[in-house]
């Protein structure tokens, strides 16, 4: 082992421990709580141990690089961590550990005899393989870790494989991830052909940007974009996230998508001066993803599908930031790099706080009500006040409302876009991306108003919602911790700025431009101060309200009472009615399907009815990929004629192939190649 | 052509024609048995030294290819009362013609393969390819499962001859591998034959196509 350091050893040790965390449980007694507690303990210990080197590398300039001899072809295994890796390692060591604790309540072994042990094993493997992807720095090691990650996620997401919908979503995910891996194989091969080695390291000044570099970039975009959920490669994401157990969705959405984005960053970091169209393309794809994800999120009635579409939106925001930073590198504008990548990386961190919070909260809601259908919920804030409050914080954060953390990162991305708009050429695209992002932000806000309003406010719409209950402590503590983190992280973002600077510098090291500190180009501290003031004002208002009503009798009535003689829960806005106006304007025909429409007639209408539903599959999948796949499946069906079923025919194929090969060798002998 | 190995190989090629040209199952089985027995002598002549390992291979080849498998096949033939290969996919005269074409092609191919200098003049490669193609012909043109086992046997004989080329590089590895392969193959085919008989009360492999999909 060459280049061993305490940081590297600790990091690799914790990855190994994380990978093995679910193994003892496999041999534990079925239904006993020993195995699950040990798995959770190991995951937490490993994650805590892994956080130490990650923080040291990100903030204190440590770092390591080591080569392990490998029995496989492809040269030695190169492992390294720089601040860029370390930044992405933070969520890897944070979210799965919280998810494991949450799993003790949500997927308790005693209630899930059939699949609990399998789920914990693959959760550990998923977390460890994500960390391994982030430190692998040679092609073969990277692709192996990547594939383990993809498969572990598949098995974790299809835990409830008895449900047909889960199986179907699992297959779609598997196809998507393998299509992406194919792109990565191609990318690794092209990169190997240009550099002559599998090591993903560039000389001083970066790799030359040639035609093959653009092939590498496009293949990386397909391979990593498919994992990140970037439009149009996002089609697997809503189904897989909706069907997975909630803490798995939290890990997939909060962390695994980011690993895909990390891949794009890692590959682009190898080049000195990327062409401007790389950044432009990423900008366009990012803005499209943001708008598309937000618009479809607004139309969903399935709680978890809504969150999944919102993840697509957030990946779009991050990609837009990366696009600005890439443009900055090609135009040698250091402040674009600092703002664009700083915002993107901060959003990576913050999204991995609020999206797991929302998924875990959604899991608590589903656990309490037994359904994912938002139109069957309602009034849950009264039944589960703590979870509801935490969920409200998550909704405000994902909608980027100040002073919550989502605002700070999106603010940086907007600043980057506005700066870039002043630039030449492809940078003008920023002028289109900024309004698109703003529109997406507004629609996302509406989507989360709808979500919170329909699920938590009003009156219960069904028996199930009426009997909802607050979850146990194992589930509640991770939710509350994440909510507190969302509250604090935005205000503390000036403290995170040095880490972001280090990661940005590591990414743009080959570009030879002096990148300014984030604090110098963005008024983070001022915004944080105003945010704190706003929070203080809110607290003051709450205290004042409490003070004012302390001596008075407070009477509580049903929501939407409005003096009706016989109010019913059906008088409330439903998710469909709220989301309809967005769906009708932004996504005509694709986002929602009108199932039934019977308008009231006459002066005293007898009855009227309207119902609409978001399609159970993503529009891209439904309109584009499925017809395409079916057309090709029909064409390939003709090949069935070759499958005669008679042994002799198959042998004739073999004989024909043999004779053709031999004949070829003869012809080569007669006509030797020049 | 005067080398004794070449004389044996000519016999092997002629036996290919016999197997393909006769409808009598007993005759095809015995021709295949004779081919196996002739091939058992081959290592003794190709090898310069005469060690116990060569002898072991020769005896094992003789035992398995010359006696054991043909014996089993004849017993199976008697048990199920089949004497003749009727209605092959390709008639006997056309298959003889194809065998002649295949042998000619084999000689043509062999001239163009990159060979070690000591093998260039011999019939080893042409005989191997010709036997291989004949085995394939039997496998593809005959209906009865027993005939197909014989075809498989002949195919393996072709590979066995080819293995003689590698004797300097990997002594006996190839032969041992072929024998094992052959044994397992025949074993499986025996089970298959048994099952075909039970399921379809016939040994016509045509009926197997009902199993597709």
**The complex's ipTM?**
0.77
> CA-to-CA distance for B151 and B137, rounded, in angstroms?
8
**Cβ neighbours of A645 in B, within 8 Å:** 208-213
Give the count of beta carbons closer than 10 Å to the beta carbon of residue A4: 13
pLDDT in tens, B118-168: 667 778 888 998 998 999 888 888 877 788 888 888 988 888 888 877 766
Q: What is the pLDDT of residue B212?
A: 57
Q: Which residue of B has its CA nearest to A663?
A: B109
Residues A662, B129: C-beta atoms closer than 8 Å:
yes
Mutation target among A647, A654, A657, A664 for the B interface, most CBs of B within 10 A: A647
In sign, the C-alpha dihedral spanning A110, A111, A114, A115 is: negative
Give the total residue count for chain A. Answer: 674
Q: What is the pLDDT of residue B1?
A: 46
Q: What is the pLDDT of residue B61?
A: 83
Q: Which phi-psi region, left, alpha or beta, contains residue B148 (left: φ > 0; alpha: ψ -120 to 50)?
A: alpha
Q: What is the pLDDT of residue A511?
A: 84
Tokens of A270: 């190898």
Beta bridge partners of A613: A593
DSSP symbols for A398-462: HTT-TTSHHHHHHHHHHHHHHHHHTSSGGGGGHHHHHHHHHHHHHHHHHHHHHHHHHHHSS---S
Mutation target among B139, B203, B204 for the A interface, most CBs of A within 10 A: B139
Of B132, B129, B111, B107, nearest to B120 by C-alpha is B111
The structure's pTM equals 0.81
> CA-to-CA distance for A322 and A329, rounded, in angstroms?
11
Give me the torsion for CA of A581, A585, A589, A594, rounded to 10°. 20
What's the per-residue H, E or C state across A105-163? HHCCCCCCCCCHHHHHHHHHHHHHHHHHHHHECEHHHHHHHHHHHHHHHHHHHCCCCCC
Residues A651, B113: C-beta atoms closer than 8 Å:
no
Q: What is the pLDDT of residue A35?
A: 87
> CA-to-CA distance for A364 and A386, rounded, in angstroms?
11
Q: What is the pLDDT of residue A589?
A: 57
Tell me whether residue A547 is exposed, middle or buried, using C-beta atoms within 10 angstroms of its C-beta: 0 to 12, 13 to 18, 19 or more. exposed
> CA-to-CA distance for A214 and B200, rounded, in angstroms?
61
Tokens of A205: 């000044």
3-class DSSP assignment, residue B135: helix
pLDDT < 70: residue spans in chain A: 1-4, 560-561, 587-596, 611-616, 673-674
The partner residue sitting opposite B112, judged by closest CB among A652, A654, A666, is: A666
Chain centroid to CA A277: 25
Mutation target among A650, A662, A667 for the B interface, most CBs of B within 10 A: A662
Note whether A666 contacts B: Cβ–Cβ < 8 A.
Answer: yes
Beta bridge partners of A302: A373
Residues A655, B89: C-beta atoms closer than 8 Å:
no
Q: How confident is the model at residue B54 (pLDDT cuts 50, 70, 90)?
A: confident
Which helix (H) or strand (E) is A65 found in, with range?
strand A64-68
3-class DSSP assignment, residue A595: strand
> CA-to-CA distance for A316 and A322, rounded, in angstroms?
10
**Cβ neighbours of B213 in A, within 8 Å:** 643, 645
In this structure, are strands A609-613 and A64-68 parallel, antiparallel, or unpaired? unpaired
pLDDT in tens, A456-501: 988 888 888 888 888 889 999 999 999 999 999 988 999 999 999 9
Q: What is the pLDDT of residue A270?
A: 92
User: Domain residue spans in chain B?
Assistant: 4-211
Q: What is the DSSP letter of A517?
A: P
Q: What is the DSSP letter of A296?
A: H
Chain centroid to CA B69: 12
> CA-to-CA distance for B45 and B61, rounded, in angstroms?
14
Note whether A651 contacts B: Cβ–Cβ < 8 A.
Answer: yes
Of B164, B163, B130, B136, nearest to B152 by C-alpha is B136
In this structure, are strands A593-598 and A77-81 parallel, antiparallel, or unpaired? unpaired
Contact residues for A363 (Cβ-Cβ < 8 A; gap 6+):
A102, A106, A245, A246, A247, A249, A250, A475
Q: Which phi-psi region, left, alpha or beta, contains residue B210 (left: φ > 0; alpha: ψ -120 to 50)?
A: alpha
Q: How confident is the model at residue B185 (pLDDT cuts 50, 70, 90)?
A: confident
> CA-to-CA distance for A505 and A337, rounded, in angstroms?
9
| A645 vs B107 pLDDT, higher one | B107
Residue B175: pLDDT over 80: no
Beta bridge partners of A138: A199
Of A223, A243, A75, nearest to A156 by C-alpha is A243
Beta bridge partners of A593: A613
Q: What is the pLDDT of residue A4?
A: 65
Q: Which residue of B has its CA nearest to A645?
A: B209
Number of C-alpha atoms within 13 angstroms, CB side, residue A549?
8
């Amino acid at each position: 082992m060459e280049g061993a350091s305490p940081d590297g050893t600790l990091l690799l040790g914790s990855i190994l421990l994380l990978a093995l965390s679910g193994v003892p449980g496999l041999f534990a007694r079925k239904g006993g709580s020993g195995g699950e507690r040990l798995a959770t303990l190991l995951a937490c210990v490993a994650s805590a141990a892994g956080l130490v080197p990650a923080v040291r590398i990100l903030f204190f300039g440590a770092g390591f690089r080591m080569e392990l001899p490998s029995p496989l072809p492809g040269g030695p295994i190169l492992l390294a961590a720089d601040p860029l890796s370390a930044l992405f390692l933070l969520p890897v060591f944070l979210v799965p550990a919280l998810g494991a604790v949450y799993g003790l309540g949500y997927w308790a072994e005693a209630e899930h005899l059939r699949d609990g042990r399998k789920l914990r094993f693959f959760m550990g493997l998923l977390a460890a393989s994500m960390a391994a992807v982030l430190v692998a720095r040679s092609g073969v090691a990277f692709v192996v870790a990547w594939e383990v990650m993809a498969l572990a996620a598949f098995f974790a997401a299809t835990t409830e494989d008895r449900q047909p919908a889960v199986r179907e979503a699992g297959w779609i995910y598997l196809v998507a991830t393998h299509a992406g891996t194919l792109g990565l194989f191609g990318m690794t091969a092209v990169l190997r052909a240009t550099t002559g080695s599998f090591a993903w390291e560039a000389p001083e000044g970066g790799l030359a940007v040639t035609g093959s570099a653009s092939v590498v970039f496009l293949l990386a975009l397909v391979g990593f974009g498919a994992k990140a959920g970037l439009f149009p490669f996002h089609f697997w994401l809503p189904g897989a996230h909706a069907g997975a157990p909630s803490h798995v969705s939290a890990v997939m959405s909060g962390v695994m998508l980011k690993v895909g984005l990390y891949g794009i960053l890692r590959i682009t970091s190898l080049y000195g001066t990327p062409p401007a169209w790389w950044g432009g393309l990423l900008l366009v794809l990012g803005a499209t993803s943001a708008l598309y994800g937000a618009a479809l999120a607004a139309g969903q009635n399935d709680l978890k599908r809504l969150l999944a579409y919102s993840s697509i939106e957030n990946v779009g925001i991050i990609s837009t930031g990366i696009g600005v930073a890439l443009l900055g590198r090609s135009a040698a504008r250091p402040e674009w790099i600092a703002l664009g990548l700083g915002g993107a990386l901060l959003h990576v961190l913050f999204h991995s706080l609020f999206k797991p919070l929302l998924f875990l909260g959604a899991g608590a809601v589903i656990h309490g009500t037994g359904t994912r259908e938002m139109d069957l919920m309602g009034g849950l804030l009264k039944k589960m006040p703590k979870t509801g409050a935490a969920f409200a914080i998550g909704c405000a954060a994902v909608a980027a409302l100040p002073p919550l953390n989502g605002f700070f990162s999106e603010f940086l991305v907007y600043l980057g876009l506005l700066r870039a708009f002043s630039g030449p050429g492809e940078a003008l695209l920023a002028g289109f991306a900024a309004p698109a992002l703003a529109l997406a932000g507004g629609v996302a806000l509406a989507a989360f108003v709808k979500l919170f309003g329909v699920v938590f406010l009003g009156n219960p719409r069904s028996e199930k919602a009426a009997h909802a209950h607050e979850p146990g402590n194992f589930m509640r503590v991770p939710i509350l911790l994440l909510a507190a983190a969302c509250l604090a992280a935005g205000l503390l973002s000036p403290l995170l700025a040095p880490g972001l600077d280090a990661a940005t510098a590591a990414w743009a090291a080959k570009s030879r431009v002096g990148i300014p500190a984030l604090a110098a180009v963005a008024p983070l501290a001022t915004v944080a101060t105003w945010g704190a003031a706003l929070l203080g004002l809110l607290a003051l208002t709450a205290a004042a309200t409490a003070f004012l009503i302390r001596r008075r009798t407070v009477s509580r009535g049903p929501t939407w009472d409005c003096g009706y003689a016989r109010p019913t829960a059906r008088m409330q806005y439903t998710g469909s009615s709220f989301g309809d106006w967005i769906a009708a304007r932004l996504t005509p025909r694709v986002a929602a399907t009108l199932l039934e429409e019977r308008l009231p007639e006459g002066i005293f209408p007898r009855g009227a009815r309207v119902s609409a539903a978001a399609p159970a599959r993503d529009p891209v999948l439904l309109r584009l990929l499925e017809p395409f796949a079916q057309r090709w499946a029909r064409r390939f069906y003709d090949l069935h004629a070759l499958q005669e079923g008679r042994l002799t025919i198959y042998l004739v194929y073999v004989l024909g192939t043999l004779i053709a090969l031999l004949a070829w060798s003869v012809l080569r002998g007669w006509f030797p190649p020049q | 052509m005067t080398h004794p190995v070449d004389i044996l190989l000519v016999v092997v090629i002629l036996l290919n024609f016999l197997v393909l040209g006769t409808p009598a199952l007993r005759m095809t089985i015995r021709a295949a048995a004779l081919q196996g027995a002739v091939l058992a002598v081959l290592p003794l002549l190709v090898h310069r030294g005469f060690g116990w390992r060569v002898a072991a291979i020769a005896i094992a080849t003789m035992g398995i290819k010359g006696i054991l498998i043909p014996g089993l096949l004849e017993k199976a033939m008697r048990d199920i009362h089949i004497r003749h290969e009727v209605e092959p996919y390709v008639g006997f005269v056309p298959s003889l013609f194809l065998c002649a074409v295949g042998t000619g092609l084999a000689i043509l191919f062999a001239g163009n393969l990159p060979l070690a200098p000591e093998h260039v003049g011999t019939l080893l490669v042409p005989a191997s390819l010709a036997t291989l193609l004949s085995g394939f012909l039997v496998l593809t043109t005959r209906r009865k499962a027993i005939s197909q086992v014989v075809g498989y046997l002949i195919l393996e004989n072709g590979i066995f001859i080819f293995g003689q080329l590698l004797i300097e590089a990997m002594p006996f590895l190839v032969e041992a591998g072929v024998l094992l392969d052959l044994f397992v193959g025949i074993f499986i085919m025996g089970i298959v034959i048994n099952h075909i008989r039970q399921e379809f009360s016939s040994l016509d492999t045509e009926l197997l196509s009902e199993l597709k999909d």
